[in-house]
Amino acid sequence: MDDKTQQLIEQLKSNPAFMQALLMSRDGQELMRLLTKDDHGASLQSAMNSALHGNVSDLMQLVNKLKESPEGAEVIDRINKAAQK
**Domain range holding 49?**
3-83
**pLDDT confidence of residue 1:** 61
DSSP secondary structure, the chain, as one string: --HHHHHHHHHHHH-HHHHHHHHHSHHHHHHHHHHHTTTTTHHHHHHHHHHHTT--HHHHHHHHHHHTSHHHHHHHHHHHHHHT-
Question: What's the number of domains the chain is made of?
Answer: 1
**pLDDT confidence of residue 34:** 95
pLDDT tens by residue, the chain, 85 residues: 677 777 777 777 777 788 788 889 999 999 999 999 999 999 999 998 998 888 888 988 998 899 899 999 999 889 888 877 6
